[in-house]
Amino acid sequence: MESVQATKQRFGIIGNDPKLNRSVEKAIQVAPTDISVLVTGESGVGKESIPKIIHSLSHRKHGKYIAVNCGAIPEGTIDSELFGHEKGAFTGATSTRNGYFEVADGGTIFLDEVGELPLTTQVRLLRVLENGEFIKVGSSKVQKTDVRIVAATNVNMFEAIKKERFREDLYYRLSTIEILLPPLRDREEDIHLLFRKFASDFATKYKMPTIRLEEEAILLLEKYHWSGNIRQLRNIAEQVSVLEQNRTITANTLRGYLPNIGSNLPAVISSDKKDSDFSNEREILYKVLFDMKNDLNDLKKLTMELMQSDNSKEVQKENEGLIRKIYRDEDEDDQPIRFDKQPVKPTTEVLQITSPVIPQKEDDKYHFAEEIEEEETLSLHDKELELIRKSLERHRGKRKAAAEELGISERTLYRKIKQYDL
Cα separation, 235 vs 171, in Å, equals 33
Q: What is the pLDDT of residue 189?
A: 93
Q: What is the pLDDT of residue 410?
A: 78
Q: pLDDT tens digits, residue range 52-111?
A: 999 999 999 999 999 999 999 998 899 999 999 999 888 888 899 999 999 999 999 999
Q: What is the pLDDT of residue 398?
A: 80
Q: What is the average pLDDT across 35-51?
A: 95
- The alpha carbon of residue 19 and the mean position of all alpha carbons in its chain are separated, in whole angstroms, by 27
pTM: 0.61
Q: What is the pLDDT of residue 325?
A: 56
Cα separation, 53 vs 132, in Å, equals 23
Q: pLDDT tens digits, residue range 250-300?
A: 999 999 999 875 444 444 444 444 444 555 666 777 777 777 877 777 777
Q: What is the pLDDT of residue 302?
A: 77
Mean pLDDT of the chain: 81
Q: pLDDT tens digits, residue range 290-348?
A: 778 777 777 777 777 777 665 555 555 555 665 565 555 555 444 444 444 444 444 44
Q: Could you tell me how many residues make up the chain? A: 422
Bigger pLDDT: 360 vs 251: 251
Q: What is the average pLDDT across 212-239?
A: 95
% of the chain exceeding 70 in pLDDT: 77
Bigger pLDDT: 197 vs 313: 197
Domains of the chain: 4-182 (3.40.50.300), 189-255 (1.10.8.60), 297-420 (no CATH)
Q: What is the pLDDT of residue 319?
A: 56
Secondary structure element (H or E) that encloses residue 74, with its range: none
Cα separation, 322 vs 311, in Å, equals 15
Q: What is the pLDDT of residue 329?
A: 52
Number of Cβ within a 10 Å radius of residue 321: 18
Question: Sorting pLDDT into bands at 50, 70 and 90, what band is 209?
Answer: very high
Q: Is the pLDDT score of 248 beyond 70?
A: yes
